[in-house]
Structure 1
Amino acid sequence: MSNEIARKHPLAGTRMSGADVIIQVLADEGVDTVFGYSGGAILPTYDAIFRYNEGKGEQPEEQVKLIVPANEQGAGFMAAGYARASGKVGVFMVTSGPGATNTVTPIRDCMADSIPVVALTGQVGTSAMGTDAFQEAPIVNIMGSCAKHVFLVTDPSKLEATIRTAFEVARSGRPGPVVVDLPKDVQNWIGEYQGEGLLEIRGYRQRMESLRAAKLSERKCRQFFDMLQRSSRPLIYAGGGVISGEAARELREFSETWQIPVVTTLMGLGAVDTTSDLSLHMLGMHGAAFANYAVEDCDFLIAVGARFDDRVAARAEQFAPLAEHVAHIDIDAAEIGKVKMVDWAHVGEAGRSLRQLIDYGREQRIDIEHAPWVEHVRALKQRHAWNYDRESDLIQPHYVIEELNKLTDGRAIIATGVGQHQMWAAQYFDFREPRLWLTSGSMGTMGFGLPAAIGAAFACPDKIVIDVDGDGSIRMNLGEMETVTTYDLPVKVLLLNNLGDGMVRQWQKLYFEDRFSGSDKSLHRKDFVKAAESDGFPFVRRVSDKAELVSALKDFVEAKGPAFLEVMIDADAGVYPMVGPGMTYKQMVTGDHIASRDEGAEREKVRLDQSSAF
């Protein structure tokens, strides 16, 4: 052991098992929580956690918490919730075979939403691989098309560097999930801990260094501001890349400096304070009518960390139809021009890129007046505001979220399942900061909300964490109710129960002539209140009377420890606005309670003189 190595890490040169190496690297990477379900092929590493924590007995704050879920998919979504809420890499650990294959969905979910997690999967011994041994599964093949990268460790001398590199890959560039497959004999190997070292992935590191060093030239800055100065109706279209890239502060400063309104994607909620005058909340299939109308009206679209996906731009050629210029900033070069052609683009980190534009604009004393456009946008927000049937005697889900939002003031962490309740939550909650909104965006994975909320509760113990769920979605991972109470987490579960898969029914009403195949009679017997009570929730309540709702919500929010509130909502309540699949914003259906735009008057005002009307 050289003195140089000893100075770098106090344990360098210490002989330890491969399992101990794994846990030590996790600790070195700052991991404080691991979510996982045990099994034979991963037991050596589970035992290493026990022994590591035993060695930190006098320093419990340095221990690695091991959180055991009801199943492996829950572990994956807990790690994802932890990562989404904290910005750190989430970690989960499962055994081989079915344990590993049960995590395919959370791995793909994290890949689709660019969430940094590291999954450690047990594997049969190297000598048994390929023999169809007990609980063997070809994880490299299965996960290869789902993850950002998959490592199979067959050389134990490279184990330490592999685990450390997995964290580097997960968090760098466009974040994503990395899987490390760990044969049992590699976990049992004995060798020296180095305390440093990474795998040789030169091409990847060169690309990452290029991204970090990417700088907007003076010429490109000038081109951007030339377009902005010629514009009278600029609009920022911000996506989840602003959140994952920690660029919310720069985005807000950029928007406020030149008074440019902002629409966000579902994944971008919280990138700007939704209560701000410049915020137009969410655009897209179920976005605000006023947000979609602003997209229709803008003459310069500035996309930041967004990818023009089909829920936003189903007809890309008709998205932002009056935009004379489209600019795009993204960390992933593959997204530039993939869906919509742009006039100006920069591949780089969102925050750094926006900072360079801000600095250039200030140095050049660029002062642009957009007051008429901002006033027009403000009028859109008033005229086409969110709305629903406020006179109904039945409990409207929008009303539930609206009242809960008053109590949380846009400062709670909101996790959701997938379905109508997800969209109502996105529409009617405020998000004053980034990382308060946790939802399965691209994959749309039912069962995501509850385990994600659990992960967030471990990541942010000082924040209120609420899982807004539906009766169909929560069933997918209902076993995690017990995980909440096992660890006495102050997670609050709000169940909006409409006795079925509401979003499926809505589509069947709209597109399948009311043929409710599979959504009319199935799975109505569950008594969720009894289920919550049996799992030990100290606060459990069901509300079916509208007059009781506000007081019940107040008690729910103020309850100490785990809380469960089921609200029986109007089964026929729909999610509006809605832009049908393959349709444009001109064809948006606003429903019976949101004012639609008069195509003759208001749009004509925009078209009369695109250069000076605003």
Structure 2
Amino acid sequence: MNAQLTEPKTKPAPAPAGATRHPLAGHALSGAEVVVQVFADEGVEVLFGYSGGAILPVYDAVFRHNATHAGADGREPMPLIVPANEQGAGFMAAGYARASGKVGVAVVTSGPGATNMVTPVRDSMADSIPMVVVCGQVPTGAIGSDAFQEAPISNIMSACAKHVFLVTEPERLEATLRTAFTLARSGRPGPVVVDIPKDVQNAALAFAGEGELPLPGYRARLAAVERGALTDEDCAAFFAALKQARRPLIYAGGGVIAAGAAEALRDFVDAFGLPVTTTLMGLGAFDTTDPLALHMLGMHGTAYANYAVEDCDFLLALGARFDDRVAGLPEAFAPLARFIAQVDIDPAEVGKVKPVQWHHVGPLKRALERLAAYGRAHGVALELGDWHAHVAALKRDHAMNYDRDSALIQPYAVLEEIDRLTGGRAVISTGVGQHQMWAAQYLNFRAPRQWLTSGSMGTMGFGLPAAIGAQFARPDALVIDVDGDASIRMNIGELETVTTYGLPLKVLVLNNVGDGMVRQWQKLFFKGRFMASDKSLHRKDFIKAAEADGFAWARRLERKEDLAATVADFLAFEGPAFLEVMIDPDAGVYPMVGPGASYAQMITGEHIASRSAPVPTDAGPAAMF
């Protein structure tokens, strides 16, 4: 194309003194080539996407970039992974981001290609996952004309993403893309969508090699948060309250993982001895095998975690937002806590659901390090022996359990065997439903980014494509998709993606012949009227489906006595493996805190011990705050 080059309206900021000028600065590139070069500059290692007419210029630029920069072994620097469906691409990018902490990237075409990305984008927004989605769009002049495969993506995605850009001025393309990555990873992470018309992809541009859009409001707010630092007075107030507590507890959320603050949390616990419970999204933020770990709290949290929340007199919330699956009845949540402290990167979350007596808005890692340093410098030593003994008793007396004598295969037993063999070190992805909660309850997570699940949105079909993305992020890790028969159906086409790319992914389907979680709710709250929860779909032969998609190891487990040997073979197989387990169709998820109920009203089921009331309220010195 011989189109005249134009001066960008958004000029890049001057390079810092001594900075190396980009080797391509000033070169003429097409808009599509600019997109790919920005990807390379941002360190993108893999792309996920499905082609189509409106994105073909970018795909062609990816092809040429990989051909030009291939290694001596022919390895592409930026492979593009093609799924069965664009939604799969979105969840692969999200799984990559969740497992690596890097920005996941998906590239799709216009119209249906872009609308198929809506659910992954909203899912990532709800769970604060950094992602950049590039969508092709019809030419600028055709926008609004109902052109072939046109959809108003900037309007549709604006309610789902952290930010959406529609690039109609070619000279703003490079700065827009660089800004998208900054937005995705900064502050509270989230997905950013960049909609690029085809004529902008084909435009001839002068590559700057640097520069972003101004966004003064966002940058000012971000800078204010980043500058947020705990003063001596803040620390003194925090420890004055903590020193009065007899039963302090940490409530850690996904923000600990997003902030890279797990090590700082470990150090804080080592210094002051507070037990830790985590949200569903926070699993792995603190080693769940630690004596002070209480695993997960909430609607399907462990009984002992929920009872500890009932009993605590001081609660420290770290990167957690008191959502309805944790604090379904906010006024009854942590009823004995006379002091609640909260640290978060997002000021909108402070006091939003539960009033707090102390808070700090700023980077979580830095805040924990500051508190730990202050406490050590001032000789803070807490006497928590009685509380530790109480926590240990809760874990012993209200341990997770199930009918171990049943002749039917229990899903909990399958997961316990997986946990025994992996030592809590596998990367686990899940679909959504009962299997998701069983995995959260019965598996251990020794480190961050081992647990990938759709938390806030609860998106069925998430597990398999997210596991694929995770395997690309961590090629040497054991990655297991724990799925359900109903959930995996949503994106079952991605089985072929696993074998196409030769991924050693392990896919486990706990088959209870229907929507088990929906059935459980219907049983408990709708008098057993099982409307549509069996899906009326009983014809699927998952083993034949897996074999048809190239799985050399695909088995069905139906006999309890074969469980241990089959699971061992499944995990030991070197390539892709698929295991379907026919489980007890009546197995339930317990404990369960019903909608609008408090933890004191928790349903523990037949095999987990419950208690009738929380501990007495005589909090001693803690009653002073």
- Interval containing the TM-score (normalised by the shorter chain): over 0.9
Partner in structure 2 of residue 385 of structure 1: 399
1:42 aligns with 2:52: no
> Does the Cα contact within 8 Å between 1:32 and 1:64 map onto a contact in 2?
yes
Tell me the CA shift for residue 608 of structure 1. Answer: 4.2
Structure 2 counterparts to residues 546-585 of structure 1, below 5 A: 546-585=560-599
Q: Give, as a single letter, the amino acid of the residue that structure 2 aligns with 1:16.
A: L
Alpha-carbon distance between aligned partners in 1 of 2:620 and 2:260, rounded to the nearest angstrom: 35
> Does the Cα contact within 8 Å between 1:258 and 1:369 map onto a contact in 2?
no
Alpha-carbon distance between aligned partners in 2 of 1:564 and 1:261, rounded to the nearest angstrom: 38
Partner in structure 2 of residue 537 of structure 1: 551
Q: Give, as a single letter, the amino acid of the residue that structure 2 aligns with 1:47.
A: D
Q: Give, as a single letter, the amino acid of the residue that structure 1 aligns with 2:289.
A: T
> Does the Cα contact within 8 Å between 1:410 and 1:431 map onto a contact in 2?
yes
Partner in structure 2 of residue 320 of structure 1: 334
1:398 aligns with 2:412: yes
- CA RMSD in angstroms comes to 1.6
Alpha-carbon distance between aligned partners in 2 of 1:285 and 1:174, rounded to the nearest angstrom: 25
Structure 2 counterparts to residues 472-487 of structure 1, below 5 A: 472-487=486-501
1:10 aligns with 2:18: no
Alpha-carbon distance between aligned partners in 2 of 1:521 and 1:295, rounded to the nearest angstrom: 37
Alpha-carbon distance between aligned partners in 2 of 1:174 and 1:7, rounded to the nearest angstrom: 30
Alpha-carbon distance between aligned partners in 2 of 1:304 and 1:579, rounded to the nearest angstrom: 22
Alpha-carbon distance between aligned partners in 1 of 2:460 and 2:611, rounded to the nearest angstrom: 34
Tell me the CA shift for residue 140 of structure 1. Answer: 0.7
Partner in structure 1 of residue 175 of structure 2: 161
Structure 2 counterparts to residues 48-59 of structure 1, below 5 A: 48-58=61-71
> Runs ≥4 in structure 1, deviation > 6 angstroms?
1-6
CA spacing shift, 1:189–1:277, aligned 2, 3 Å: same
Partner in structure 2 of residue 308 of structure 1: 322
TM (norm. structure 1) is: 0.97
Query: SS at 2:180's partner residue?
Result: helix
1:208 aligns with 2:222: yes
Partner in structure 1 of residue 197 of structure 2: 183
Q: Give, as a single letter, the amino acid of the residue that structure 1 aligns with 2:78.
A: V
Partner in structure 2 of residue 297 of structure 1: 311
Query: SS at 2:40's partner residue?
Result: helix
Tell me the CA shift for residue 607 of structure 1. Answer: 2.8
Alpha-carbon distance between aligned partners in 1 of 2:600 and 2:308, rounded to the nearest angstrom: 12
Query: SS at 1:607's partner residue?
Result: coil
Q: Of 205, 221, 230, which residue of structure 1 is paired with 2:235?
A: 221
> Does the Cα contact within 8 Å between 1:539 and 1:559 map onto a contact in 2?
yes
TM (norm. structure 2) is: 0.96
Tell me the CA shift for residue 208 of structure 1. Answer: 1.5
User: Which segment drifts farther, 210-219 or 531-540?
Assistant: 210-219
Partner in structure 2 of residue 148 of structure 1: 162
> Does the Cα contact within 8 Å between 1:32 and 1:62 map onto a contact in 2?
no
Q: Deviations 1:451-482 (Å, cap 9, x if unpaired)?
A: 00000000001110000000000000000000
CA spacing shift, 1:43–1:376, aligned 2, 3 Å: same
CA spacing shift, 1:70–1:185, aligned 2, 3 Å: same
Gaps of 5+ in 2: 1-6
Alpha-carbon distance between aligned partners in 1 of 2:297 and 2:619, rounded to the nearest angstrom: 25
Partner in structure 1 of residue 3 of structure 2: none
Alpha-carbon distance between aligned partners in 1 of 2:358 and 2:622, rounded to the nearest angstrom: 23
Tell me the CA shift for residue 66 of structure 1. Answer: 0.4
Tell me the CA shift for residue 611 of structure 1. Answer: 3.8
1:502 aligns with 2:541: no
Alpha-carbon distance between aligned partners in 2 of 1:498 and 1:318, rounded to the nearest angstrom: 35
Query: SS at 1:270's partner residue?
Result: coil
User: Which segment drifts farther, 256-265 or 204-213?
Assistant: 204-213
Query: SS at 2:546's partner residue?
Result: helix
Q: Of 38, 41, 46, which residue of structure 2 is paired with 1:33?
A: 46
Partner in structure 2 of residue 412 of structure 1: 426
Query: SS at 1:263's partner residue?
Result: strand
Tell me the CA shift for residue 521 of structure 1. Answer: 5.8
Number of aligned positions between the proteins = 609
Alpha-carbon distance between aligned partners in 2 of 1:56 and 1:450, rounded to the nearest angstrom: 31
Q: Of 201, 206, 209, which residue of structure 2 is paired with 1:195?
A: 209
Tell me the CA shift for residue 58 of structure 1. Answer: 3.9
1:88 aligns with 2:98: no
Tell me the CA shift for residue 432 of structure 1. Answer: 0.1
Tell me the CA shift for residue 364 of structure 1. Answer: 1.1
Alpha-carbon distance between aligned partners in 1 of 2:60 and 2:125, rounded to the nearest angstrom: 30
Q: Give, as a single letter, the amino acid of the residue that structure 2 aligns with 1:184.
A: K
1:269 aligns with 2:283: yes
Alpha-carbon distance between aligned partners in 2 of 1:367 and 1:301, rounded to the nearest angstrom: 18
> Does the Cα contact within 8 Å between 1:112 and 1:443 map onto a contact in 2?
yes
Query: SS at 2:105's partner residue?
Result: strand
CA spacing shift, 1:4–1:591, aligned 2, 3 Å: closer
Tell me the CA shift for residue 7 of structure 1. Answer: 3.9
> Does the Cα contact within 8 Å between 2:553 and 2:577 map onto a contact in 1?
yes
Q: Give, as a single letter, the amino acid of the residue that structure 2 aligns with 1:103.
A: M
User: Which segment drifts farther, 306-315 or 56-65?
Assistant: 56-65
Gaps of 5+ in 1: none
CA spacing shift, 1:340–1:559, aligned 2, 3 Å: same
Q: Percent identity?
A: 66
Tell me the CA shift for residue 63 of structure 1. Answer: 1.4
CA spacing shift, 1:609–1:357, aligned 2, 3 Å: closer
Q: Of 500, 506, 524, which residue of structure 2 is paired with 1:492?
A: 506
Q: Give, as a single letter, the amino acid of the residue that structure 1 aligns with 2:488.
A: I
Q: Of 253, 261, 279, which residue of structure 1 is paired with 2:293?
A: 279
Alpha-carbon distance between aligned partners in 2 of 1:208 and 1:43, rounded to the nearest angstrom: 36
> Does the Cα contact within 8 Å between 2:429 and 2:453 map onto a contact in 1?
yes
Partner in structure 2 of residue 428 of structure 1: 442
Partner in structure 1 of residue 37 of structure 2: 24
